[in-house]
Amino acid sequence: MMKAPSKIDVEQLMELDLHLALSDLKIEEDTSKVSGETLDYIANLARIRIQDDEKEEFYKHLEGVISFADQLNEVNCDAVEPLSFIADQKNVFRKDVHKPSLSVKEALKNAPSSESNYFSVPKSIGGK
């Protein structure tokens, strides 16, 4: 296993095939604002229509997501071991032991209706 990276770089995104979608995103360098083109691109990916009067609200939300991701890049993960699973639990298997079960007569005892050795229920599709 590899060590957990402290920062995400382009090679890692390419390894995960995320570079295709992320390469089309354009974020202005001087501020963390998202361009209108980027917002339209993301809306298209999400298959949603954003009206012009709604764009300002979406800009704010998207900038919040980007700033949160930037905060995650500041976390030092050098001493953190990579995880395969969040919880350190293992499957606990029981022995497959044959135990006595209900007889057919006992199983059908409380059934409202039965035919032969089967439960009888009304048809639910195509008829009476």
DSSP-derived secondary structure for 44-103: HHTT----GGGHHHHHHHHHHHHHHHHHHHTS--TTPPP-SSSS-----PPP--------
State the average pLDDT for the chain.
Answer: 77
More confident residue, 61 or 17: 61
pLDDT for 33 equals: 60
Which pLDDT tens digit goes with each residue over 56-115? Answer: 888 888 888 888 888 888 888 888 888 777 777 778 888 889 999 999 999 999 899 999
Q: How far apart are CA 108 and CA 77, in angstroms?
A: 61
pLDDT, one tens digit per residue, over 20-63 is 454 455 544 444 467 888 888 888 998 988 888 888 888 888 88
